[in-house]
Chains A and B, each alone.
Chain A
Amino acid sequence: MSVTLDTGLSWVVYVCLGYLLLVATLYAILVVFSALDNMLRVRQTRAEDFRTLARSRFTVPVSVIVAAYDEAALIRESVRSLLELDYPEHEVIVVNDGSTDETLELLRAEFDLVPQHIYVRRVLATEQVRQIYRSRLDPRLVVVDKDNGGKADALNCAINFARYPYVCGVDGDTLLFPDALLRAMRPVLRDPAAIIGVTSHLAISSAPEEIAAQRDVLGDYRPLLAFQQIDYLRAFMTNRLAWSRLNFMLCAVGAFQIWRRDVLEELGGFARHFTCEDIELTFRAHERYLREGREYKILSLPHTVGVTEGPNRMRSLIAQRERWQRVILETFWAYRGMLGRPRYRSVGLAGMPFYLLSEVVAPVFEVLSVLALVVAAATGSLDWTSCLLIGGIVAFGTGLLTAASVLISDLAERTLPKRRLASLVLLAPLELVLYRPALVWARLLGTVRFLRGDRKWHKFERNTRPRAVAPRSS
């Protein structure tokens, strides 16, 4: 091999190692901030009087909104979990976004829905509403059937119906624990003027309905699901908690996001022209508030508030993560103006650069690192021992980060059994070879599709389970 090629290769190895070191250092810093934030939340929670909050008429009421598109598999359980939330005052608004399956029929039968004429303010423009239903079993439940317009459109439609000052967006495949709203709203009740958004950790399962009842969070023990859980734990416990503490919480997740309704209305609701709505809205809120110099907070909490469905097939996982990568790139590109600008404070100076390094360019570096190491080893520029050592460092470094996430999560809520904790931390180093390659592939695909301008949703195929059947209505 020519000297020039070897030089080039060594450069690539050098840059990749430098990138790895930089990202690892950043994550280590974030872990410290996450641990501090977690400690604060745990202490605040321990000292909180939830009994008073749960029955007080002074607790701020919340509108829980659900955008449902082909959610027949879980919609009944999901809505039931929302109606059973232990909260003084809340309503549930489900928008059936032109589902092609039996989502609406299942809801009609399960909750005894009857058509109603409800006239609302059309604060946000949406697709045509076909019919509105109210439950005869529980008047807090309103179901809106509308033409398909995408998740953002459905959420906007729900906002038009929302009557309470805070809106909690929940996915149709997410089951919340009874105290979810109370725990998430606790910081809001302390400072409603400043807190405009809240999100919190969710557990993953291929069948949330099976584990939600026992509250065996992270109860899905299959490797693919366990790796996704590890991924979620890291994303929440070592990323979002620190972002939240440093005032650049960049993504309130769609599966559980609480927003002040006036903020949503002021921002014009969820954006329809992005592949996914949650990250974009978070960025937009930061952009608007910081540009106008207004004080605000968007928080991420360590509490596990519910269980959401995760794909149990590799193909579905890749489809989901491909979309996530595309959304990240779309959002980052749309708000690139904030990058490095002091006017956007920690979001522009820390959050955006971190996002650029850890999310936007990560797939390129991940692929480049693997290729460079393999080529360098194959051509003899680097011996195999070094390659294996580098691989080991990355594997156990990731394991270390995962163990930190698991520790933070366990300190926040002692809900997981010891065996489960042990399995999660022991599984972590294997992620590099058993799970990460699929993610790298998905992220590459997402990057390519973003560059091609693909904006399709590509919703992941639902996990196989016994077919949901709508009971015949009387």
Chain B
Amino acid sequence: MPMVRVLVQEPGGAAAFAGTTPARATWPAATMTTFHFLLTLLFGAALLGWLGLAAYVVGGRAAHDLRARRLAEAEARSSGRGLSRRALRRAALDASLAPHVSLLFAFEEAATVGTGQLVARAGRHRTELDKWRRIEALRILALVADPAALPLLELALRADEDVAAAAAAILGSLRSEAAAEVLAAAIGRSQLPDSKLSAYLDSYPLDVPGVVRRLACDRSPARRYRGVSLLARYIERGDARQLLCAAAGDVDADVRAAVAEALGSAGEGGIDELDALARDTAWFVRAHAARSLGARRYAELGAVVAPLLADESWWVRAAAKDALGELGPDAAAAVAPYLHSSDRFARNGAVEVLERIGHVDLVLVEAVAAPYDVLKQRAAQAIIAASADAYRAAVERATPELREALLVLVEPVGVAA
């Protein structure tokens, strides 16, 4: 509080400075000079700081644009000549560049630095900056297919999250079964979530059914689960389908759920397994089975899925609704009985499905077109009774002839159009 003390103790000390009367309390000249000096210093610092940073922002951007232009030119002439080493390293690391361009820059960088130094750099890191240099080195080594790359990448998968993520991305871009094997081996044992590693294996540029099969037969349920999920890519291979069907009886519910999910993309086979999985003790297995049955698009599967509308789990009921919706108008007959279910959700679900598969009017059209199909006729009437709004919407959309027929349908249930 020196300011305050000065103001009180030395009235009139700086009368000339502020142009005030001598009787008034104000700042002494010496204090004011210091104060002014400090303020001027701060002002100067703020002004220069702002000017300097503004220049850096604009200048830095101009330099970046220049680098980008040079990079584009280098890309066009397929040569890294004229690029700085930093630019080369960055280009080799940049995942958004075309692979052949990255490869080119990687070769130039490897030639400049020497693979020995790159291997040393890729082996470990101490500081944050080192970490990114390590990642750059790993990518360059992988791009130039250096034999040391694979063991170093394997090691990197056990390093911190950033290094592991970069290593997984690099491994995922390689076209070698050995690299896929390294990725598969890291599942359940790396810093990275298994889903991320699985994503790279799932979109691997090379077919690696052997690697995935081995994973699907692993002793660890977590690794088996991932393996079975990944088998979906090879579902059209008989051996993969066979393996999946065998895994439908796995002791681990997650694995069974993965089987149920994978079988949804099978072109043939696995229906019996899906049928069994739809009655599994674990709700999430039933939910996956229901969705997969929907994805298979066999109308006769409606009879298997429809009972799941009244399942004890909300998620299974929701999956059943989606699945029946996927099965289309042919599922109507299987769904119709649930319009009379004692379970409110099953009733509502049935209406929702019937609306979805043809926005009601499609079902109604069928009922009109096939007057002898009592079940369809009854289903249509039940829909009208359960959902007057939907019925009105159907009437709105209908052609004049159909509207006529719909009005006939409505009579027994007495809904005003």
**Contact A400 B50, CB 8 Å, known A6-B7, A7-B25, A47-B93:** yes
B137 to chain A, nearest CB (A): 13
Highest count of chain A CB atoms <10 Å: which of B39, B348, B356: B39
Residue pair A404, B390 in contact (C-beta under 8 Å): no
Stretch in contact with the other chain, from A150-158, A247-255, A297-305, A384-392: A384-392
**Contact A421 B58, CB 8 Å, known A46-B95, A49-B169:** yes
Enumerate chain B residues within 8 angstroms of A396, measured Cβ to Cβ: 43, 46-47, 49-50
Enumerate chain A residues within 8 angstroms of B94, measured Cβ to Cβ: 46
Residue pair A410, B57 in contact (C-beta under 8 Å): yes
Residue pair A52, B18 in contact (C-beta under 8 Å): no
Stretch in contact with the other chain, from B196-204, B206-214, B276-284: B196-204
A58 to chain B, nearest CB (A): 4
A422 to chain B, nearest CB (A): 5
B52 to chain A, nearest CB (A): 9
Enumerate chain A residues within 8 angstroms of B93, measured Cβ to Cβ: 46-47
Q: B2: nearest residue on chain A (CB-CB)?
A: A14
Instruction: Digitize A13-38: 1 where CB-to-B-CB distance is under 8 Å, 0 elsewhere.
Output: 11000000000000000000000000
User: A119 touches which one: B3, B139, B352 (CB < 8 A)?
Assistant: B352
- Is A10 located at the chain interface by the 8 A CB criterion? yes
- Is A114 located at the chain interface by the 8 A CB criterion? yes
> How far is B161's CA from A189's CA once the two chains are assembled, in angstroms?
12
Q: A397: nearest residue on chain B (CB-CB)?
A: B46
Say whether chain B's binding surface is mostly helix, strand, loop, or mixed: helix
Residue pair A399, B50 in contact (C-beta under 8 Å): yes
- Is A59 located at the chain interface by the 8 A CB criterion? yes
- Is B8 located at the chain interface by the 8 A CB criterion? yes
- Is B393 located at the chain interface by the 8 A CB criterion? yes
B125 to chain A, nearest CB (A): 13
Enumerate chain B residues within 8 angstroms of A47, measured Cβ to Cβ: 93, 95, 135, 139, 162, 165-166, 169
Residue pair A117, B198 in contact (C-beta under 8 Å): no
Which residues of B in the span 181-228 have a Cβ within 8 Å of any Cβ on A? Answer: 192-193, 195-196, 198-200, 202-203
User: A58 touches which one: B42, B161, B196 (CB < 8 A)?
Assistant: B196
> How far is B166's CA from A385's CA once the two chains are assembled, in angstroms?
56
**Contact A49 B49, CB 8 Å, known A7-B8, A59-B199:** no
- Is B114 located at the chain interface by the 8 A CB criterion? no
User: A60 touches which one: B53, B195, B202 (CB < 8 A)?
Assistant: B195
**Contact A407 B53, CB 8 Å, known A14-B3, A52-B200, A392-B47:** yes
Enumerate chain A residues within 8 angstroms of B3, measured Cβ to Cβ: 10, 13-14
- Is B298 located at the chain interface by the 8 A CB criterion? no
B80 to chain A, nearest CB (A): 18
Stretch in contact with the other chain, from A267-275, A348-356, A425-433: A425-433
Which residues of A in the span 365-382 have a Cβ within 8 Å of any Cβ on B? Answer: 379-382
Residue pair B43, A114 in contact (C-beta under 8 Å): no
Residue pair A389, B39 in contact (C-beta under 8 Å): yes
Q: B53: nearest residue on chain A (CB-CB)?
A: A403
Residue pair A52, B172 in contact (C-beta under 8 Å): yes
B9 to chain A, nearest CB (A): 10
Q: B1: nearest residue on chain A (CB-CB)?
A: A14
Residue pair B352, A190 in contact (C-beta under 8 Å): no
> How far is B33's CA from A385's CA once the two chains are assembled, in angstroms?
12
Residue pair A393, B199 in contact (C-beta under 8 Å): no
User: A189 touches which one: B4, B196, B349 (CB < 8 A)?
Assistant: B196
Residue pair A115, B393 in contact (C-beta under 8 Å): yes
Q: A414: nearest residue on chain B (CB-CB)?
A: B64
Q: A121: nearest residue on chain B (CB-CB)?
A: B314
Enumerate chain B residues within 8 angstroms of A381, measured Cβ to Cβ: 7, 18, 24-27
- Is B173 located at the chain interface by the 8 A CB criterion? yes
- Is A57 located at the chain interface by the 8 A CB criterion? yes
Q: A399: nearest residue on chain B (CB-CB)?
A: B50
Residue pair A393, B36 in contact (C-beta under 8 Å): no
Enumerate chain A residues within 8 angstroms of B151, measured Cβ to Cβ: none
A390 to chain B, nearest CB (A): 6
Residue pair B390, A115 in contact (C-beta under 8 Å): yes
- Is A464 located at the chain interface by the 8 A CB criterion? no
B260 to chain A, nearest CB (A): 15
Q: A396: nearest residue on chain B (CB-CB)?
A: B46
Residue pair B165, A117 in contact (C-beta under 8 Å): no
Say whether chain A's binding surface is mostly helix, strand, loop, or mixed: helix
Residue pair B40, A389 in contact (C-beta under 8 Å): yes
Residue pair B25, A6 in contact (C-beta under 8 Å): yes
> How far is B42's CA from A94's CA once the two chains are assembled, in angstroms?
52
- Is A128 located at the chain interface by the 8 A CB criterion? no
> How far is B96's CA from A421's CA once the two chains are assembled, in angstroms?
25
- Report, as a range, how many residues of chain B touch the other chain: 35 or more
Residue pair A386, B39 in contact (C-beta under 8 Å): yes
User: B203 touches which one: A7, A13, A52 (CB < 8 A)?
Assistant: A52
- Is A1 located at the chain interface by the 8 A CB criterion? yes
Residue pair A48, B169 in contact (C-beta under 8 Å): yes
User: A382 touches which one: B27, B57, B199, B203 (CB < 8 A)?
Assistant: B27
Instruction: Digitize A168-203: 1 where CB-to-B-CB distance is under 8 Å, 0 elsewhere.
Output: 000000000000000000000111110000000000
B30 to chain A, nearest CB (A): 15
**Contact A1 B24, CB 8 Å, known A56-B199, A116-B355:** yes
- Is A406 located at the chain interface by the 8 A CB criterion? yes
> How far is B132's CA from A389's CA once the two chains are assembled, in angstroms?
44
Residue pair A50, B4 in contact (C-beta under 8 Å): no
> How far is B166's CA from A1's CA once the two chains are assembled, in angstroms?
70
Enumerate chain B residues within 8 angstroms of A425, measured Cβ to Cβ: 50, 53-54, 57-58
Residue pair A163, B60 in contact (C-beta under 8 Å): no
Residue pair B202, A58 in contact (C-beta under 8 Å): yes
Enumerate chain A residues within 8 angstroms of B49, measured Cβ to Cβ: 396, 400
> How far is B68's CA from A117's CA once the two chains are assembled, in angstroms?
54
Enumerate chain A residues within 8 angstroms of B53, measured Cβ to Cβ: 400, 403-404, 407, 425
> How far is B355's CA from A79's CA once the two chains are assembled, in angstroms?
24
Residue pair B20, A410 in contact (C-beta under 8 Å): no
Enumerate chain B residues within 8 angstroms of A221, measured Cβ to Cβ: none
Q: A56: nearest residue on chain B (CB-CB)?
A: B199
Which residues of A in the span 52-104 have a Cβ within 8 Å of any Cβ on B? Answer: 52-53, 55-60
Which residues of B in the span 370-397 have a Cβ within 8 Å of any Cβ on A? Answer: 387, 389-390, 393
> How far is B283's CA from A198's CA once the two chains are assembled, in angstroms?
30
Residue pair A163, B318 in contact (C-beta under 8 Å): yes
Enumerate chain B residues within 8 angstroms of A7, measured Cβ to Cβ: 4, 7-8, 25
- Is A467 located at the chain interface by the 8 A CB criterion? no
> How far is B166's CA from A48's CA once the two chains are assembled, in angstroms?
7
B157 to chain A, nearest CB (A): 13
Enumerate chain B residues within 8 angstroms of A392, measured Cβ to Cβ: 43, 46-47
Highest count of chain B CB atoms <10 Å: which of A48, A380, A410: A380
> How far is B40's CA from A286's CA once the two chains are assembled, in angstroms?
43
Residue pair B25, A403 in contact (C-beta under 8 Å): no
Enumerate chain A residues within 8 angstroms of B348, measured Cβ to Cβ: 117, 119
Residue pair A426, B54 in contact (C-beta under 8 Å): yes
A312 to chain B, nearest CB (A): 26
- Is B300 located at the chain interface by the 8 A CB criterion? no
Enumerate chain B residues within 8 angstroms of A422, measured Cβ to Cβ: 54, 57-58
- Is A3 located at the chain interface by the 8 A CB criterion? yes
A339 to chain B, nearest CB (A): 27
> How far is B61's CA from A7's CA once the two chains are assembled, in angstroms?
50
- Is A44 located at the chain interface by the 8 A CB criterion? yes
Residue pair A189, B195 in contact (C-beta under 8 Å): yes
Please name the 4 residue pairs, one residue from A and one from B, whose CB atoms are nearest each other, closest first.
A380-B20, A396-B46, A56-B199, A403-B53
- 10 A/B residue pairs, CB under 8 Å, sorted by A: A1-B25, A6-B26, A10-B3, A46-B94, A46-B95, A48-B165, A49-B95, A393-B46, A422-B58, A426-B54
Q: A52-B203, A60-B195, A399-B50 are in contact. List 14 more A-B contacts (CB 8 A).
A: A3-B11, A6-B26, A10-B4, A50-B95, A52-B172, A58-B202, A121-B314, A131-B389, A190-B161, A380-B24, A381-B26, A397-B46, A407-B57, A407-B60
